[in-house]
Amino acid sequence: MKFSFDFFNKNKKVAVQQTPVVQSILCIPGPWKDVDEFAESLIEANDGQYLYAAGFVMSLFPPKHYEMEIYGNDEQIKKSFEFAGRVNQLSKEFLEEIAKHNSVIYLKAETGAFEKALSIAKAGAAILRSGGIGVKVETTGKAFNKEHWMDLAENFQPGNLYRMFVLDTIIQPDGSVFTCGMHNLGLKDTVVSGEEFYDAMTLLAVFGFYQEIDLPTILDRQTFARDADSPKYRILEEPNQPYKDHDLYGNPFGMWRLRKE
C-alpha cells in the first residue's frame, strides 16, 4: 500500500489515507511460436522503442516496464473474446483469426491513474504492431480488434481511456445497470436503478466521461445532471458493489450510486 499523510498539529496527530494499488491486465493473442520470436518482432515492429527481456516488456522512451507472461494456444480464447467483445460487436472473421493464434500474452502493470492506464494501453498497441491479433482487458471484461485498440491508443483524445477500460452495460437481476473497470483509471464505478437500459447506459457513460475529461472532485450527496434540461441525480456512496470481492473486477476505490431526485 501507498500512504499519504496530512499532519494536523505539532503533536504528530496524523490522518492516514490509504491509496489502493491496482493492476491492469491485457490479454493479447498472436502468431508467435515462442518468446524469442516475439522478442524479435517486438523490436523490429516498434523501431527499438519497445523490447522484451527477462519477463518484462520495456519502453525505452519514456523508460517504463510491464510484467509479461506468454503461454501457448488456449482453446478458450475465442470464446472469451466472443463474450467480452459483444459491446464492440467483434466480427466472426475476427474471432476465427483469434482461434488460429499460436500463443497468448498477458501484459500486467500497476495502474489506477490516467497516465498509467494510457501507458499500458500504448504498450498493448506495441504488441499489436508486433503481430498481436486483438486485446481483451482482463480487469474489465471488454475486448477489441486490433484496429480499434490501435486507433484509441495512438490517436488519443479525451474520453478514450473510458472507452478502452470501462464497461457500462452490465445489468443486475433487478434491472440496475452498472459500470466495471473504472478502477483501472483510479476512479469509482457507478450504478443506477429504475431507468430504461439505454437511458441508464447513456447516463453512466456521460458521468464517466465527465470524470475523465473534467477531472471533478466528487463528494457524497452532490448532484449531477447530463445537461440543464435533464433530470438531476443525487450522487451517493454505494456499499454493495456487485464485484466487490472479485479478483479482477472488484473496485477498491468504491462505487457511486446515481439516484434520481
> Does a structural domain hold residue 186?
yes
pLDDT 10s digits, 128-140: 999 999 999 999 9
Report the C-alpha gap between 96 and 213 in whole angstroms: 36
pLDDT 10s digits, 191-203: 999 999 999 999 9
Do 28 and 92 lie in a common domain?
yes
Do 153 and 180 lie in a common domain?
no
> Does a structural domain hold residue 98?
yes
CA atoms within 13 A on the CB side of 177: 15
Task: Give pTM, 2 decimals.
Answer: 0.91
**Torsion 92-25-212-125 (CA) sign:** negative
Do 182 and 74 lie in a common domain?
no
Report the C-alpha gap between 17 and 57 in whole angstroms: 32
pLDDT 10s digits, 89-136: 999 999 999 999 999 999 999 999 999 999 999 999 999 999 999 999
Segments forming the whole domain that contains residue 116: 23-161
Report long-range pairs for 85-91 (Cβ below 8 Å, ≥24 apart): 85/136, 85/142, 85/143, 85/144, 85/145, 87/142, 87/167, 87/169, 88/142, 88/143, 88/144, 88/145, 88/148, 90/134, 90/143, 90/144, 90/145, 91/145
